[in-house]
Amino acid sequence: MIPLIVIAGPTAVGKSDVAFELAERLDTEIISADSMQVYKYFDIGTAKSSAERRKEIPHHLIDIVNPDEDFSAGEFNERAFEIAKELNRKGKIPLVTGGTGLYIKALIENLACGIKKDNKIRERIKREFEARGEKAMYERLRKIDPSAASKIHPNDRYRIERALEVYYSSGKPISEFHREDKNRSKKQEAKGKRERFKVSYFVLNMDRKLLYKRIEERVDGMISAGLLYETEKILKMGYDKNLKPFQCLGYLQMIKYLDGEMDFDSAVQEIKKETRRFAKRQLTWFKGVKDAIWIDISETGDIKETSTQIYRMCHDLQR
């Protein structure tokens, strides 16, 4: 089995900093498990590690697809596994970090998550969105697949489109595909299928008030760093505002501001509010991870101390 270290947790908790320190200690490389950081040009709003840091420690699966290209959890699994194998061959322990729980799950459990895409149906759904609006299309999804709709925000156009596309192209709700993946994973576990990884899974957390304060500071920092300018720049490159990466927190609100749907201060406040909600959903996901080790980073209050703690706890993985 390949040894694997995972550092997960909610947005703004400090995953990237801890992972960087740990990667230095272990002399290894980082595999990013972030569904938005895969997109080129979307830098500020996705909180990508700086170019300087990426020169010091190689970061994989960042800036690998254009904004108008698709990238799935299944594709992440395939690419990340190849990188993990190569790192292991070099005598390095793969270090995965990010807040996209599904990506991490796909890698550890070898999930395909490969629902085929149908461009004709997708274009038809896009046209219906323009004609009917988000509310009507979300209501349609609620009737077709209430389970999926309950987990999708009514304003998350990309995921609504994707769920409808899956249904109309396959005749099956997307939630059924997800259940099948889950059942397949359970059957493999019951059969005692040989695992690919020996995993040390760490979830960083902190006092909720402190986390929310860090979220506020992060959003303010993104605004100061030029999130609005970056959004405008990508739009001027010719990319459609309805593409998946534009549905990411921060960019979505900047689009609303540019479209005159809200003033700038309201857009910033909405980013903060929705990011807090997003962090709560991430925590709910990670609470469902079996055998995860939770570390309260607010107790140490120090990135180096936290990385040292993790380093000691996963010492048995080192060679």
Confirm if 225 and 217 have CB atoms less than 8 A apart.
no
In whole angstroms, give the CA distance from residue 169 to residue 57. Answer: 42
In whole angstroms, give the CA distance from residue 145 to residue 131. Answer: 21
pLDDT at 171 (0 to 100)? 86
pLDDT at 128 (0 to 100)? 92
pLDDT at 189 (0 to 100)? 57
Q: Which domains does the chain have, with CATH numbers?
A: 2-110+196-317 (3.40.50.300), 119-179 (1.10.20.140)
pLDDT at 275 (0 to 100)? 97
pLDDT at 319 (0 to 100)? 47
pLDDT at 116 (0 to 100)? 64
Confirm if 153 and 247 have CB atoms less than 8 A apart.
no
In whole angstroms, give the CA distance from residue 101 to residue 304. Answer: 24
Q: Model pTM?
A: 0.81
Q: What is the dihedral of CA 179, 184, 190, 191, to 10 degrees?
A: 170
**Mean pLDDT in each 10-residue stretch from start to end of the chain (319 residues)?**
96 96 97 98 97 97 95 93 97 97 94 70 88 92 93 86 88 83 63 75 96 97 98 97 93 97 98 97 95 87 88 71
pLDDT at 180 (0 to 100)? 74
